[in-house]
């Protein structure tokens, strides 16, 4: 028997170290060792290029290793990377000012943090302090993070086995136009009746201490569910009636991904507090909580306290400024609309070709494709979804699939805003082949 090569020995040792030393933190690890990434592709140690239709963790909106981000990091880390939390630098103040300039009034004051969960913690803490309440309403298919308050408002996964969540968390049904629970005469989702019912249940459960409603404009981990036009205006009215603050979590939808700078623009609604993360750092850990001067003033008067080791770090703030430079200069909101139209048209063609494609939904370059056992029952197929995911990876496409029971057949498709038309076409071709290969090789009954 031939002796193993150094490469195979090294690979075996790598995976042995994974088994021996890494905590498994959710789902399974992709069975590839990634050595580098550039643009729309990640590259394995053995040189295989994999098209990344997830923008990393839905974050690298400018693609991997964007040259201007690389230059900014190199320049900034060599001059000023980290400071005591009470010290300020120009990149931090510049980014706060520039973010306010992209937003409608009265959103004007920003706090820069690291992750979406951390920023949601800060937003909820501020809302509770300002309103004097503690109850938080969120969608039943939500994902806002794994820290305490964010996890309390997360319902799509991770609730069982950890003991009681913080009191005052209330779930409302997510508007799902593909699987409507309240229907109009034509079978479509009657979202107004659903929303009225939801807040009847909120009022029944509330102890009179409602503080905030925390929602995503498009529920990403929940299956790329986009509430219908008019929904958020009605939701904002429900919040105002009860003295609640509306917090919009635009971790994945903010900064041009959906074809506008912010997803809430479609609905003409301005949140009381806006949370940005993922896309703001283009792959680096940067998040922001943005609110009005009035809310910030009331929070400050009441002793608002939320600082972390990396609040207002100049390194990632400089990166955030570069992200804004590229988004503005290259008009990536327009590009996302154009590429999103091409992507959607391609996915619609796949739906016509493959009976297992039950629905295509989303906006801009955040699109969902749902696989089902059959279109009549709309029965989800986690097994089919997992098989297509594996086949895509074998063919050179990484698809971000929601790996939770009941949602394993939903693909979240979010290529970088810098992807080329040819790269989108390549991804669609691979997905087409993967679905065909899986369906022809297995029974769906």
Residue 380, judged by CB atoms within 10 A of its CB (0-12, 13-18, 19+), counts as: buried
Q: 144 and 120 in contact (C-beta within 8 Å)?
A: yes
278 is catalytic: yes
Token pair 């370059």 is found at 365
192 is catalytic: no
Candidates 109, 143, 194, 226; catalytic one: 143
Candidates 118, 135, 216, 333; catalytic one: 216
Query: Coil, strand, or helix at residue 426?
Result: helix
Radius of gyration of the chain (CA): 22
Candidates 252, 257, 272, 382; catalytic one: 252
252 is catalytic: yes
Token pair 């989108």 is found at 424
191 is catalytic: no
Q: 110 and 289 in contact (C-beta within 8 Å)?
A: yes
412 is catalytic: yes
Dist. CA 413–CA 421, nearest whole Å = 15
Beta bridge partners of 397: 51
Going across the sheet that includes 400-401, the strands are 357-363, 366-371, 410-413, 400-401
Candidates 238, 278, 344, 363; catalytic one: 278
User: What secondary structure does DSSP assign to 9-48, as a single string?
Assistant: HHHHHHHHHHHHHPPP-SS---SS-EEEEEBTEEEETT--
Helical residues (DSSP H) of 211-369, grouped into ranges: 231-241, 293-301, 314-329, 332-353
143 is catalytic: yes
Catalytic residues: 143, 216, 249, 252, 278, 412
């Amino acid at each position: 028997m031939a002796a193993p090569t150094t490469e195979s020995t090294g690979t075996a040792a790598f995976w042995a170290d994974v088994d021996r030393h890494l905590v498994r933190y959710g789902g399974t690890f992709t069975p590839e060792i990634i050595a580098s990434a550039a643009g729309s592709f990640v590259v394995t140690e053995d040189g295989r290029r994999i098209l990344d239709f997830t923008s990393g963790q839905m974050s690298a909106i400018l693609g991997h290793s964007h040259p201007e981000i690389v230059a900014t990091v190199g320049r900034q880390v060599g001059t000023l990377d980290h400071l005591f939390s009470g010290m300020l630098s120009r990149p931090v103040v510049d980014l706060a000012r520039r973010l306010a300039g992209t937003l409608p009034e009265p959103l004007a004051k920003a706090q820069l943090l690291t992750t979406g969960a951390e920023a949601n913690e800060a937003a909820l803490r501020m809302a509770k302090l300002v309103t004097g309440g503690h109850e938080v309403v969120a969608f039943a298919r939500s994902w806002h993070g794994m820290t305490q308050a964010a996890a309390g408002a997360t319902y799509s996964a991770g609730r069982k086995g950890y003991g009681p969540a913080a009191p005052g968390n209330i779930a409302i049904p997510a508007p799902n136009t593909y699987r409507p629970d309240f229907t109009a005469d034509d079978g479509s989702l009657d979202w107004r009746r659903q929303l009225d019912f939801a807040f009847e249940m909120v009022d029944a459960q509330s102890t009179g201490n409602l503080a905030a409603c925390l929602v995503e404009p498009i529920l990403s981990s929940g299956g790329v569910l986009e509430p219908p036009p008019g929904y958020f205006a009605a939701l904002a009215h429900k919040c105002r009636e009860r003295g609640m603050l509306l917090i919009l979590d635009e971790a994945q939808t903010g900064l041009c991904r959906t074809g506008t700078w912010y997803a809430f623009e479609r609905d003409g609604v301005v949140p009381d507090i806006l949370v940005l993360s993922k896309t703001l750092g283009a792959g680096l850990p940067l998040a922001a909580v943005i609110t009005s001067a009035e809310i910030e003033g009331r929070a400050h008067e009441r002793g608002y306290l939320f600082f972390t080791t990396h609040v207002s770090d100049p390194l990632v703030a400089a990166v955030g400024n570069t992200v804004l430079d590229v988004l503005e200069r290259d008009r990536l909101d327009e590009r996302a609309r154009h590429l999103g139209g091409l992507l959607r048209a391609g996915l619609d063609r796949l739906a016509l070709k493959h009976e297992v494609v039950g629905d295509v939904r989303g906006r801009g370059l955040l699109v969902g494709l749902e696989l089902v056992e059959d279109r009549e029952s709309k029965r989800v197929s986690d097994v089919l979804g997992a098989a297509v995911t594996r086949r895509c990876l074998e063919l050179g496409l990484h698809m971000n699939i929601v790996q939770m029971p009941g949602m394993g057949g939903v693909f979240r498709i979010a290529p970088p805003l810098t992807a080329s038309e040819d790269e989108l076409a390549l991804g669609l071709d691979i997905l087409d082949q993967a679905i065909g290969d899986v369906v022809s090789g297995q029974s769906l009954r």
